[in-house]
Structure 1
Amino acid sequence: MATEKIALVTGAARGLGYAIATALQASGVRVILADVSPTVNTAAETLGAAGAVQMDVAQYPAVETALTSINEQYGAPDILVNNAGLTTNIARTDRMKPAAWEQELAINLNGPFYLTRLVLPSMKEKGWGRIINISSTAATGGLNRQPGYAASKAGLLGLTRTVALEFAPYGITCNAVLPGLIQTEKVAELPHDILEAAIEHIPAARTGKPEEVAALVTFLASPIAGYINGVAIPIDGGASLSQVSLNRSSPSRTPQAG
């Protein structure tokens, strides 16, 4: 991949986002890490990334300011990875507070829309662009006691397909990656019995690695993936084949997908 390509990865201070940034950089891309946490600066220094920006993707003015700064300092992004997300609100639909619902949609759906809207003009002008949205298997299978998360990730699929349809003529692709149970810090905190019960329903009989998701994202961001557009690719060890989700776990302790 040409070294001139610039990638912006959100939610990149740690976990899956950091793994994606690492893989993209290894492929020859100049990577800019973005996160709401100030630790994103340390993460960028550790990685040796091109740069870092602290921003809250749920706030359009903040996103607009950050993109303006990125464009001036590094150049307009050729690759956008919408990875930032919130998964902390656990409640059945009839008990979920409207504020919690709105918070999840603001981060998981509004944020990707804001960023996509702002990077599209420069991608269109260049005649090339890659947008990869990190959704979840919850988008297609639902997720017990997490209606806001599942709904926002499903909405992200609609945005993905619409952008793909609208901007394919300009050399821009937009695809979604749907992680299943991945070895993140949150998954590591799950009670052993809950984790083991979830793994029993995965044909691969294990959790996924962040590096595996990152490899898929890096491929979709590459020039060779230009004929792949508007698709949602599950990366879940085959769990979706049997239509088994994490919803069979204890309703009071539901592990997080994606």
Structure 2
Amino acid sequence: MASQGKTALVTGAARGIGRAIALRLAQEGINLALVDLSDDVDDCASEVRKLGVKAATRLVDVSDAEAVASSVAELADELGPISILVNNAGLVKNIAPTGKMAVDAWETELAVNLSGPFNLIRALVEPMAKAGWGRIINISSVAARGGLHFQAGYSASKNGVLGLTHTVTLEYARYGVTCNAILPGVIQTENVKAMPKGIRESVEAMVPARRMGEVEEVAHLVAFLASEDAAYISGAEIDIDGGTRLNSLTLGSQSELRERAEAMARAFEE
């Protein structure tokens, strides 16, 4: 797909979807700037280097605009211009009805899930535009479309990512910079695999494909969107959910909804 030799920055790269994305891009010959809050990101960097590309890491809170800007500058000095950005870092801070949600949890979820992607895009999009080439891939969620019980902050922040994606496309597509959003359903990260069997089965039963997605499936889609082959795709919202968007994750009793919300929260934190 001909992105060899370029440099990509991936947030939330220590494990789960982010780690899979980093390894998949490395297979394409792309150097990796890996950002996370966990020291485990260094393990990911070691695996990336085994694939024959360069890797550098930074422990960064993506909601801190100044820390993001300085880290991006350092990583670009170390690895070369960053022309691919994957905004993957995200979290769920509080499982509660909207009227009972903690304000600090709401603010944290918006800061990480929405301001985080903005901070990274703000630091990188102008250099991409000046170079005449760039790929921005934002990891949103199926929660962005219809919302989820007990997850107002997460749902709202991931919906905001779609608006950000559209605006960046309107402003920068003319300069060769694409910006797209991926909306994963329930993906089999480490946390999801640890779910009780009964919860897993109830969630899978609501997916038309009758299974959960694999982290590698998301990573393959990211690799395509980061390539030359995807040059005419921008402003898109691409579901990778086994058809979940056509069903509802909002059916059931209050206790069932809460149990499912807690399970989904573990899925979305990777």
Task: Report the TM-score, using the length of structure 2 for normalisation.
Answer: 0.92
CA distance in structure 2 between the partners assigned to 1:81 and 1:97 by the alignment = 29
Aligned with 1:231 (options 220, 229, 236): 236
Q: Deviation string for 1:27-55 (max 9, x for gaps)?
A: 12111211011221222113215221211
Equivalent in the alignment of 2:7 = 6
Matched, 1:27 2:28: yes
Equivalent in the alignment of 1:200 = 205
Cα offset, 1:190, TM superposition = 2.1
Aligned with 1:94 (options 99, 107, 120): 99
Q: Deviation string for 1:200-220 (max 9, x for gaps)?
A: 111111010000000001100
Match of 2:150, SS state, is: coil
Check 1:124–1:165 CA distance in 2 against 1; reply closer, same or farther (3 A cut).
same
Check 1:208–1:112 CA distance in 2 against 1; reply closer, same or farther (3 A cut).
same
Aligned with 1:154 (options 154, 159, 166): 159
Identity among equivalent pairs (%): 50
Aligned 1:43-122 pairs, distance under 5 A: 43-48=44-49, 49-122=54-127
Count of residue correspondences: 257
CA distance in structure 1 between the partners assigned to 2:11 and 2:251 by the alignment = 28
Match of 2:3, SS state, is: coil
Q: Deviation string for 1:165-193 (max 9, x for gaps)?
A: 11010000000000001001221232221
Equivalent in the alignment of 1:170 = 175
Check 1:248–1:210 CA distance in 2 against 1; reply closer, same or farther (3 A cut).
farther
CA distance in structure 1 between the partners assigned to 2:3 and 2:16 by the alignment = 26
What letter is aligned with 1:227?
Answer: Y
CA distance in structure 1 between the partners assigned to 2:32 and 2:79 by the alignment = 10
Q: Gaps spanning 5+ residues in structure 1: where? A: none
Equivalent in the alignment of 2:257 = 251
Task: Report the TM-score, using the length of structure 1 for normalisation.
Answer: 0.96
Match of 1:173, SS state, is: strand
Alignment RMSD, CA only? 1.4
What letter is aligned with 2:112?
Answer: I
Match of 1:252, SS state, is: helix
Aligned with 1:183 (options 177, 188, 196): 188
C-alpha contact 2:11 2:86 (8 A) present in aligned 1: yes
Q: Deviation string for 1:87-142 (max 9, x for gaps)?
A: 24211101101100000000000000000011011101110000000000000021
132-141 or 40-49, larger mean C-alpha shift: 40-49
Cα offset, 1:246, TM superposition = 5.4
Q: Gaps spanning 5+ residues in structure 2: where? A: none
CA distance in structure 2 between the partners assigned to 1:102 and 1:212 by the alignment = 31
CA distance in structure 2 between the partners assigned to 1:246 and 1:69 by the alignment = 44
